[in-house]
Structure 1
C-alpha cells in the first residue's frame, strides 16, 4: 500500500511538473517592468504539490519543469536563466510549504503564501543584483548600464542597479508571486477532491485535510 502511494505521488509530481512547464511557456510582458522580466504562473502547480505532499514534492515539480523546458526548448541563456528560475522558485515554495506544515489551516496557508511572497521578492533582489544580472551581462557582452537603461526607459526613477532592484525587480516579484498565491488559494479548494483521487487521501496537515479549519 505504501509503495502504491509512493508511485502515485511520483506520478503526481511528474504531472504537476508537466503542467508547470506548459504554464512557463505562457509568459507575458508587463507594462511596468522591462521586457526581460516575464510574468507566468508556472509556480502554481509546485505550490499545490508543496501544500499537498510537502516541500520535497514542491521542489520536485520545479526540477521537472526546468528539465522539460531544457529538453524541448533548450536554453538561450547558457542555463543561467534556468538555474535562477530554480533558485527563485525554491525560495518561494520551500518557506510556504514548511510554514504550512507547521500551521495547517486556511489561515496558515494565507500566512505561508504571504510570507513566501515577501521572502522571494527580497531574495530575488540579491539573486539578480549579485548573480543573474552580472552573469547575463558577461554572457551577452551587454554593459550593466544597458540593462539599467532598459529599466529607466520604463521608469525614470531607475538610475542605477539599486533603483532597478527597488522599482522593477522587487515590485515585479511581489506582483508575480502575489497573483500565484491568490490563484492557489482560489483554485486549490476546487480541485482538492481530484488531487485526492490521483494521490489518495492526503496526510494530516495537508491543505485539503485542513480545508474546514481556521
Structure 2
C-alpha cells in the first residue's frame, strides 16, 4: 500500500503535537513539584519551631523530617534533601541560637535519614520496601548522629551552657552516663533509634494518606 505525501505530513504533524503535549505535561509536573517542595519546606520549618517536652536535656522529638520524607518518597531523594536544606537555612537565618552550627548538624543528621529512606523506597521493587527503607534510614541516622553529636553538637551545647558538667547534669536520670562518650552512647543513640522509628511510622502513614493527592 502506497503512502501519500499528505499522510506523511499528517503523521509528522501528529508526532509534533504529541511531543508538544508531552513537553507541556513535563513542565506542568516540574512546576507542581517545585510548588509542593516549597510548601513541604515551609511546613517542615514550622514543625521545627514547635518544641516537644525534652527527652534528655536538649533532645526533643519533632515532626520536621516528615515533610522531607513525603517529598523524598514522591519526587526522589534530591527533593527530600532540598526540603531539609531550605528548612535549616530559614532556621539559621531567622531563629538560630547556635550561630547556624546547630542547623548544620540537624541538616547532616536529617539527610542521613531522608536520603537512604527515599532512595531505597524509589529504587527497590519489593512489598517490604518501606520497612527496609526506614530500617536502613534509622541505622544511617544513628551512625551519623553519633559522629555529629560527638564532634559538633555536644561540644557546642557544652560551650553554650557553661561546660560539659551542665550538659551531663541534664542526663543525670541515667546513672551510666559519666562523660561525653557515654552521654551519646546511652542517652542520644537510643533517642535517635526511637526518633527513627517514630519518624518512619508517622511518615509511612502520612505518605499513604497523601500519595494519590501528590501523584508520585
Please, what TM-score do these two structures have when normalized by structure 1? 0.83
Q: Which has the larger radius of gyration?
A: 2
Q: Which of 87, 90, 99 matches 2:108?
A: 87
Q: RMSD between aligned alpha carbons?
A: 1.7
How far has the Cα of 1:136 moved from its partner? 3.1
1:1-214 alignment runs, 5 A limit? 1=24, 2-30=26-54, 33-71=55-93, 73-138=94-159, 140=160, 142-151=162-171, 153-196=172-215, 202=216
Q: Is the 8 A contact 1:55 1:98 kept in 2?
A: yes
How far has the Cα of 1:165 moved from its partner? 0.9
Aligned residues: 192
Please, what TM-score do these two structures have when normalized by structure 2? 0.82
Q: Residue 96 of structure 2 aligns to a residue in which SS?
A: coil
Deviations 1:12-69 (A, max 9, x none): 1101111111111222124xx3231121011011011111111100001111212333
* Correspondence for 1:210: none
CA–CA distance in structure 1, aligned partners of residues 29 and 83 of structure 2: 17
Unaligned runs of 5+ in 2: 1-23
Q: Residue 128 of structure 2 aligns to a residue in which SS?
A: helix
Divergent runs of 4+, >6 A: none
Q: Is the 8 A contact 2:53 2:60 kept in 1?
A: yes
Q: Is the 8 A contact 1:18 1:68 kept in 2?
A: no
